Structures are given as C-alpha cells and as structure tokens.
C-alpha cells in the first residue's frame, strides 16, 4: 500500500509555552512565539496496514512498550478526531543530534500528524493539522509552519492553534541560532512534569503568564522593525522568567547545570565586547544563542575559543512541515 512521508523541522520558542490550562487537550495559559529552524528535522513515513495494531520504528529500531504506546495513543486521537479506523506502520528518523537537547517532540509529532493524516486519505487544512499536532505535544503545533510562528492559546480544542507571523513564512530578519551542547546528560524533569509542577505550586507562575503578554507584543514589534537586539533582549528575559518559575515550585527544580552558567558567562563576555548575542533555554541545560545570521560564524568561533569542549550547532530559519513523497 502507499506510503506517505512527511518532514517537519524543530522550533525554538522565543516567548515560551510553559503550562497547560487543560492537560487533555493541551491548551496553554499563554500565547507563545517560536522560530522554526532549518537544520533539525524529523522524517516520518506512514503506511496503511491490515494488521490489528500500529507499529513504530524509530531511527531503525522497532519500538515497544512506552515508546510504542506514545505513538499508538496519539494515532488513536487522530483516528477519533478524523473518523478513520486505519492502522499504520510508522517509520521515523530524527535528524536532530540526540544530545543537542533540541526538542524532537515538536518536529516528531508534527511530522507524524502530516504523514498519518495523509495515510488516512485525508487532505486537511494546515490549521487543523496544527490543532491535531498540538494534541501530541504542545510545541508541535508550531512546527507545522516555517519562520516565526505564534501559537494562539485560544480557549479550547477548536481555538488553540499556531499561525505564521508572515503569510509567506519567510523571515526578513537576519537571525541565526547556535545550540551550545553543554551537557548530553538526560534531563531529570521532563517538560511535561516540570510545567505541571510549576503551574500547581509556583507563586511566580501567574507573574510569568502576565509578562508573556507584554513580551509577546514587544517581540512582535521588534520583529516587524527588524530590531534583533530587542528580539534577543526580550527572548532572553522571557526564558529566564520561565526558568525562575521552576525555582519557586514545590519541590523546586532547575534545568541549569554548572556548565550552563559557564556558557551564559561566555555569551555575556562577548556581549561586553560589542557582539550582538543573546540566549534562550528550554527544559534542559543547553543554551541556544540568538545572533545575526551574517555574524553567526564569527560568534561561533569566538564562543568556541571560550568554550573549547562544547559542541556547537548553527541553524537558520527553516520551513514548515510538508509531505515530501507518497508512493
Ligand atoms: C520549554 O511542547 O515539549 O520547550 O505539551 O507537554 O508535550 P508538552 O510540552 P512541550 O514543551 C515545550 C516547552 C518549552 C517551551 C516551548 O517550546 O515553548
């Protein structure tokens, strides 16, 4: 039977999603804004099968247990939402360096949504694909689109989806990101657990949600004005506020490692020398540098001199998710 293959790129949030109002439907407390990257992606094929259950191969390995049921329960959601009864053989490859701490769940669920819906024989609008991808992992709804993407929180399943900032999904701002892989250690607290604990217990959480509103407005203006300095400042401040909520949680937790602080100090050192560089961080110890595309190689070289043992991966704005072949 026909196989449908999709590619989706990962995205990094400049205004963070951190906390669900509704765990089942993954409805967030605040709008978030991300940049889709060109370098890191997931490629997923879906083939309709006559077997009674779905199967899942990841990076060449047949999966069972928790990894398989994560995929089959998501396919159950897709089937329930679309009315399909079709079982699928899923084959997925992550082109995201495993240690990079670059969310592969975003590209993973976006690619899985596209390939599976195509294999169900459906041609769905991208807004619907974004809503469906959201049910797998919140940040996946943003990977449906390229460039700068805003996830509008909405109030419910129908109204919570991502939308690109520019209709053509192109980025006019000269921006790049350098992922500094400061530690390959697996994170102790998943983003799902971390945000749930923070929402339930951190007195700082409401302040974070409130400041996201102001940060979002300001960063959209800065993107429009092509003011990268301001984009960097707002993104860095927003990420630090997100991480501050975790310190206020019960029990408190942090994604920072000593190496994280060393990397941040190196970025601050470059900034003091007049380089335009800021950072953002997600639910892990690695740091993503925000800089001008034109200056990225120079900044990477300067950082590498300060952090000789740190792996660095440079990425530029990337495209939205698409079906690449069906045969
Ligand atoms: C820190 O999308 O991985 O990267 O919806 O529970 O699957 P779930 O969470 P996920 O969380 C991403 C959190 C973040 C910030 C962001 O990407 O906006």
Per-residue pLDDT tens digits for 8-24: 999 999 999 999 999 99
152 & 261 share domain: no
Query: Residue 46: which of 106, 95, 88 has the closest Cα?
Result: 88
From 32, 103, 104, mutation site for ligand 1 pocket: most ligand atoms within 8 A of C-beta:
103
- Rounded Cα–Cα distance for residues 141 and 137 (Å): 8
Backbone angles phi, psi at 268, to 5 degrees: -65, -35
Q: Is the CB of 103 under 6 A from ligand 1?
A: yes
Q: Please list the pLDDT of the chain residue by residue as tens digits (327 residues).
A: 799 999 999 999 999 999 999 999 999 999 999 999 999 999 999 999 999 999 999 999 999 999 999 999 999 999 999 999 999 999 999 998 755 567 679 999 999 999 999 999 999 999 999 999 999 999 999 999 999 999 999 999 999 999 999 999 999 999 999 999 998 776 789 999 999 999 999 999 999 999 999 999 999 999 999 999 999 999 999 999 999 999 999 999 999 999 999 999 999 999 999 999 999 999 999 999 999 999 999 999 999 999 999 999 999 999 999 999 877
Which atom of ligand 1 lies nearest, measured to the CA of 136?
A: 7
159 & 234 share domain: no
71 & 165 share domain: yes
- Nearest Cα residue to atom 5 of ligand 1: 138
82 & 137 share domain: yes
Domain of residue 206, CATH code? 3.30.70.890
- Rounded Cα–Cα distance for residues 161 and 131 (Å): 5
152 & 232 share domain: no
CB count, 10 Å around CB of 155?
A: 10
- How high is the pLDDT of residue 184? 77
- How high is the pLDDT of residue 48? 97
180 & 305 share domain: yes
Which atom of ligand 1 lies nearest, measured to the CA of 134?
A: 5
160 & 208 share domain: no
Domain of residue 142, CATH code? 3.30.230.10
From 19, 109, 139, 148, mutation site for ligand 1 pocket: most ligand atoms within 8 A of C-beta:
139
- Write out the E strands in 16-59: 20-22, 27-28, 32-49, 55-58
- How high is the pLDDT of residue 1? 76
Q: Is the CB of 283 under 6 A from ligand 1?
A: yes
- How high is the pLDDT of residue 99? 56
Q: Which helix or strand (DSSP H or E) is residue 10 part of?
A: strand 4-15
17 & 108 share domain: yes
CA atoms within 13 A on the CB side of 88: 34
Q: Is the CB of 138 under 6 A from ligand 1?
A: yes
CA atoms within 13 A on the CB side of 189: 20
153 & 11 share domain: yes
Number of domains making up the chain: 2
- How high is the pLDDT of residue 98? 59
Per the structure, the complete domain to which residue 111 belongs is given by 4-170+318-324
36 & 143 share domain: yes
Q: Is the CB of 26 under 6 A from ligand 1?
A: yes
84 & 210 share domain: no
62 & 194 share domain: no
């Amino acid at each position: 039977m026909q196989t449908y293959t999709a590619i989706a790129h990962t995205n990094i949030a400049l205004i963070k999603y951190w906390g669900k109002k509704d765990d089942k439907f993954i409805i967030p407390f605040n709008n978030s804004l991300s940049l889709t990257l060109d370098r890191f992606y997931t490629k997923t094929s879906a083939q309709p099968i006559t077997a009674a259950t779905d199967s899942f191969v990841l990076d060449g390995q047949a999966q069972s247990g928790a990894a398989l049921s994560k995929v089959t329960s998501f396919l159950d959601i897709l089937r329930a939402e679309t009315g399909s009864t079709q079982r699928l053989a899923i084959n997925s490859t992550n082109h995201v360096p495993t240690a990079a701490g670059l969310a592969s769940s975003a590209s993973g669920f976006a690619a899985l949504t596209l390939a599976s819906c195509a294999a169900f024989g459906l041609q769905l609008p991208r807004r619907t694909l974004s809503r469906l991808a959201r049910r797998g992992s919140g940040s996946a709804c943003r990977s449906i689109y390229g460039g700068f993407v805003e996830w509008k929180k909405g109030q419910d399943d129908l109204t919570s989806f991502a939308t690109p900032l520019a209709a053509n999904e192109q980025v006019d701002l000269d921006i790049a990101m350098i992922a500094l892989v400061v530690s390959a250690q697996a994170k102790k607290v998943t983003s799902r657990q971390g945000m749930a604990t923070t929402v339930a217990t951190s007195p700082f959480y409401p302040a974070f949600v409130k400041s996201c509103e102001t940060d979002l407005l300001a960063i959209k203006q800065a993107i429009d004005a092509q003011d990268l300095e301001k984009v960097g400042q707002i993104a860095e401040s927003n990420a630090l506020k997100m991480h501050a909520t975790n310190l206020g949680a019960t029990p408190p937790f942090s994604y920072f490692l000593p190496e994280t602080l060393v990397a941040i100090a190196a970025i601050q050192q470059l900034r003091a020398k007049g380089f335009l560089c800021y950072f953002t961080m997600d639910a892990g110890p690695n740091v993503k540098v925000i800089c001008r595309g034109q200056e990225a190689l120079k900044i990477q070289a300067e950082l590498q001199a300060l952090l000789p043992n740190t792996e660095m991966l440079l990425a530029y704005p990337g495209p939205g998710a698409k079906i690449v072949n069906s045969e």
